């Protein structure tokens, strides 16, 4: 139940200037003290407030008052005025000067400060200049106080109100009355729905032009969360119509206006009009341009390449097949090269041969992958240090205002490119359009870029379909490895993965050594089998700890969804113990020793790598969606939880930040991209057809190194193999690449003179 308190702020115990979270002591009329907590845009000691909120009991700090809304009250008597002025609320006035001001003006002090602040120069120690400075501060504070009261009237929280006032200042009244949907475009953290709620309180009509335009942009941005770069006009109108609850005929007239205002880009095709948010179109176009610029022929002496390949095979004791040799040659002769193939086809062997080839030339190489786990595996398989793409590009955690949808800035960019001759990026299927754009900005023409990945894996979590589009453009050299090597062919994980990818049924007779199917048809029985496998069977069989065995599931909700599985698995794999501290955040109970995963990109979060005795040996910023680790410590006094990630980084989470973590005993197959585990367990029973498809099953199976165990329905398993329908992802990087390549070719040809010289020039251009 909400209650009200009135008092003055005696002192501030703690304040986080980033988010305004404050712990302070408020004294009431009888001078009784009360600890209050809440988020405030600005707050000063000595200020009298009237606040609304609820009483809570903190497990360590006891009784507190959680403030939900408040208003500052100007001092009502000379004592309160002296306390207010002397608190530091007005710069340049301390306790002694505040006392002199109140002695001089008495009960009229408040009016003088607000209406005639220039008269403060009558007080000894205050010059006319200082009086003017005080007047400006008093006006600013009064303006902000009035604005916050105005915003609270429309249900706007203190935190959001502070952001809005910081952005618009005194223009805030006009913005809200005329077009509150500007908030969704201008202010981080304000989406269409918040702006729409404010607009409805103000009385904006549902068919308002501002509302329809904002709703269309919001629909496009929501679609990007599904991986789309654009939407066909028809689908945009259908989605926006459902969101806005207005007929799509209201939207037609706005498309061209929004394109003229550079909010949208419209591209006509034979099938439809494609509608892009302008930023997304420009990012895709620039990515295509930079890829084309790297596509430079680097001729090599064929006999010399053959000799080097023979030497590499002799030194390493490996035998490369014709396609692997071709891959090394293409990498040597092209500025941009793509290597693709499924499991067991020799991608790692080929990468190692490419590395040795360039090492023999004295080239400086850099290796990277999208995730820490993938980079670690790349290091182990090549013997050459690899890092995440974010670390390669030197993420510094400062928001990038130009591309605020990324909220990210790299120190390596067009002005400060990477110092390397050859850059090899693995697990390219995970790279979205934004990360690809940032990577290409940091690579100068002349540096060789080698992209490695399996286009049949699930696409990136972020928007775009980068690897698949680059391959499908047919502009760049691509080598696809298809031969399954003898050692890999002995693994049913590899053989069955390829069968699944081809749509062929898999033998479920359990005669395999590394691929098992346990038929069960009840969700609770399936879970009991999964627990027994993790606790008893699998650790010995694959020589791994229970925490290294990963449960993968197609969905979040349901009887076999991530949310339910994690609650049950936590109970068995990390049960409550008097020696383990716990903390409940939202709907999740976190316990020391839990396996956890970061579920959103946090570009500002600091981390460190600890050496002997826990001394930091490396520091950086950025923890990313999919990073997995162990919750090592929960400190209730400092309200901090410490996590050690698999790549050795440590990060500290405030209790408020725990919403960025989830238990990870079971994770969705999407979240497993780029990872590899000693053993994978797949509970499969039933679910939405869109989630139970071939692509998802293929990705899950290829995550296992030593053993896959499917527990569930063979009928559902077979249906997944037969279901090749994937959710359509609207991207057009391949189109942009082809357009630029064709444009470049036509420009080159336009310079070809007529007659014999033209023939010679054309011959030379093909060299």
User: What tokens were used for 181?
Assistant: 């949907």
Annotated binding site for ATP: 344-348
The two three-digit tokens of residue 170, written as one number = 């005194």
* Burial of residue 362 (number of CB atoms within 10 Å: 0-12, 13-18, 19+): exposed
CA dist list (Å): 93 to 9, 90, 137, 477:
17, 6, 11, 71
Distances (CA, A) of 684 to 176, 215, 522, 559, 639: 50, 38, 10, 10, 39
Of 666, 670, 668, 675, which is closest to residue 703 (Cα–Cα)?
675
**Cα separation, 34 vs 65, whole angstroms:** 7
Q: Give dist(CA 217, CA 196) in Å, integer.
A: 13
Six-digit token string for 433: 């359009």
Residue entry with tokens 């790297």: 294
What is the Cα 572 distance to its own chain's centre? 31
Per 3-state DSSP, the chain is made up of helix, strand and coil in percentages (nearest 5) of: 45, 25, 35
- Nearest 5°: the CA angle 514, 517, 519 is 160
> The dihedral of CA 221, 223, 228, 234: what is its sign?
negative
Left if phi > 0, otherwise alpha if psi is -120 to 50, otherwise beta: which for 552? beta
Residue where the block lists tokens 């449960």:
551
* Residue 443 backbone phi and psi in degrees, to 5: -115, 125
Question: Scanning the structure block, which residue is given the tokens 């071709």?
Answer: 326
SS3 label, residue 211:
helix
The string of DSSP codes covering 276-339 is EEHHHHHHHHHHHHHHHHH--B----HHHHHHHHHHHHHHHT----HHHHHHHHHHHHBSEEEE
Nearest to 633 by CA among 659, 651, 620: 651
Q: What angle do CA 726, 729, 730 make, to 5 degrees?
A: 150
Please give the annotated binding residues, written as ranges: 344-348
* Cα gap 692→683, rounded to integer Å: 12
Strand segments, DSSP code E, in 431-586 are: 448-453, 478-481, 515-519, 549-553, 582-585
Q: What span, in angstroms and rounded, lies between the C-alpha atoms of 202 and 192?
A: 15
Helix (H, G, I), strand (E, B) or coil at 482: coil
Q: How many CB atoms lie within 10 A of CB 276?
A: 23
Report the helix count and the strand count for the chain, using DSSP H and E: 28, 28
Q: Identify the CA nearest to 339 among candidates 429, 446, 421.
A: 429
């Amino acid at each position: 139940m909400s209650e009200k308190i009135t008092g003055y702020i005696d002192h501030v115990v703690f304040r986080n200037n980033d988010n305004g979270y404050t712990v302070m002591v408020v004294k009431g009329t009888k001078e009784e003290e009360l600890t209050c907590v809440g988020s405030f845009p600005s707050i000063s000691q000595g200020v009298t407030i009237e606040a609304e909120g609820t009483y809570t009991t903190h497990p360590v700090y006891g009784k507190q008052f959680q403030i939900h809304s408040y208003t500052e009250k100007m001092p009502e008597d000379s004592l309160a005025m002296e306390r207010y002025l002397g608190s530091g609320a007005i710069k340049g006035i301390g306790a002694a000067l505040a006392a002199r001001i109140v002695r001089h003006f008495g009960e009229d002090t408040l009016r003088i400060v607000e209406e005639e602040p220039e008269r403060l120069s009558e007080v000894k120690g205050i010059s006319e200049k200082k009086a003017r400075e005080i007047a400006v501060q008093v006006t600013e504070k009064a303006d902000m106080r009035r604005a916050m009261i105005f915003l609270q009237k429309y249900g706007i929280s203190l935190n959001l109100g502070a952001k809005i006032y910081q952005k618009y200042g005194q223009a805030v009244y006009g913005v809200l009355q005329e077009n509150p949907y500007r908030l969704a475009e201008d202010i981080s953290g304000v989406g269409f729905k918040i702006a729409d709620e404010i607009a409805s309180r103000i009385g904006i009509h549902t068919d308002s032009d501002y509302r329809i335009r904002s709703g269309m942009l919001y629909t496009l941005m929501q679609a990007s969360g599904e991986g789309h770069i654009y939407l066909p006009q028809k689908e945009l109108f259908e989605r926006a119509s459902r969101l806005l609850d207005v007929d799509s005929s209201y939207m037609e007239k706005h498309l061209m206006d929004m394109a003229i205002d550079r909010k949208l880009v419209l591209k006509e095709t034979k099938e439809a009009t494609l509608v892009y948010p302008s930023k997304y179109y420009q990012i895709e176009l620039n990515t295509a341009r930079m890829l084309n610029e790297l596509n430079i022929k680097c001729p090599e002496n064929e006999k010399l390449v053959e000799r080097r390949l023979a030497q590499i095979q002799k030194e390493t004791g490996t035998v490369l097949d014709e396609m692997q040799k071709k891959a090394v040659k293409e990498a040597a002769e092209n500025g941009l090269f793509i290597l693709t193939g499924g499991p067991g086809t020799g991608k790692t062997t080929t990468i190692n041969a490419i590395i040795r080839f360039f090492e023999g030339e004295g080239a400086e190489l850099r290796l990277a992958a999208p995730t820490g786990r993938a980079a670690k595996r790349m290091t182990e398989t090549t013997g050459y240090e690899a890092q995440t793409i974010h670390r390669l590009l030197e993420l510094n955690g400062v928001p990038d205002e130009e591309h605020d949808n990324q909220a990210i800035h790299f120190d390596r960019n067009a002005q400060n490119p990477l110092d390397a001759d050859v850059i090899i990026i693995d697990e390219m299927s995970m790279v979205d359009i934004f990360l690809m754009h940032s990577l290409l900005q940091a690579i100068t023409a002349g540096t060789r870029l080698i992209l490695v990945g399996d286009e049949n894996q699930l696409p990136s979590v972020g928007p775009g379909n980068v690897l698949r589009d680059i391959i499908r453009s047919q502009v760049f050299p691509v080598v696809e490895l298809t031969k399954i090597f003898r050692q890999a062919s002995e693994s049913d994980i590899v053989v069955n993965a390829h069968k699944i990818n081809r749509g062929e049924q898999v033998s479920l007779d359990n005669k395999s050594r590394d691929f098992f199917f346990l038929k069960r048809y009840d969700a609770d029985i399936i879970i009991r089998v999964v627990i027994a496998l993790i606790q008893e069977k699998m650790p010995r069989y694959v020589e791994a700890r229970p925490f290294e065995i990963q449960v993968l599931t197609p969905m979040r909700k349901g009887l076999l969804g991530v949310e339910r599985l994690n609650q049950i698995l936590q109970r068995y794999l990390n049960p409550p113990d008097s020696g383990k501290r716990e903390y409940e955040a939202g709907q999740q109970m976190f316990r020391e020793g839990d396996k956890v995963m970061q579920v959103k990109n946090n570009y500002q979060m600091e981390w460190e790598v600890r050496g002997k005795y826990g001394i930091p040996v490396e520091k950086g910023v950025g923890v990313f969606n999919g990073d997995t680790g162990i919750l090592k410590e929960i400190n209730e006094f400092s309200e901090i939880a410490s996590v050690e990630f698999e790549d050795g980084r440590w990060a500290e989470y405030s209790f408020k930040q725990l919403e960025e973590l989830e238990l990870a005993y079971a994770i969705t197959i999407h979240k497993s991209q780029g990872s590899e585990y000693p053993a994978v367990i797949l509970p499969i029973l039933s679910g939405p057809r869109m989630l139970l498809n071939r692509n998802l099953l293929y990705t899950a199976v290829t995550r296992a190194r030593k053993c896959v165990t499917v527990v569930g329905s063979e009928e559902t398993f077979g249906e997944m193999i037969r279901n090749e329908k994937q959710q359509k992802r609207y991207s057009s990087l391949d189109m942009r690449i082809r357009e630029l390549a064709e444009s470049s070719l036509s420009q080159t040809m336009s310079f070809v003179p007529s007659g014999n010289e033209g023939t010679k020039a054309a011959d030379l251009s093909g060299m």
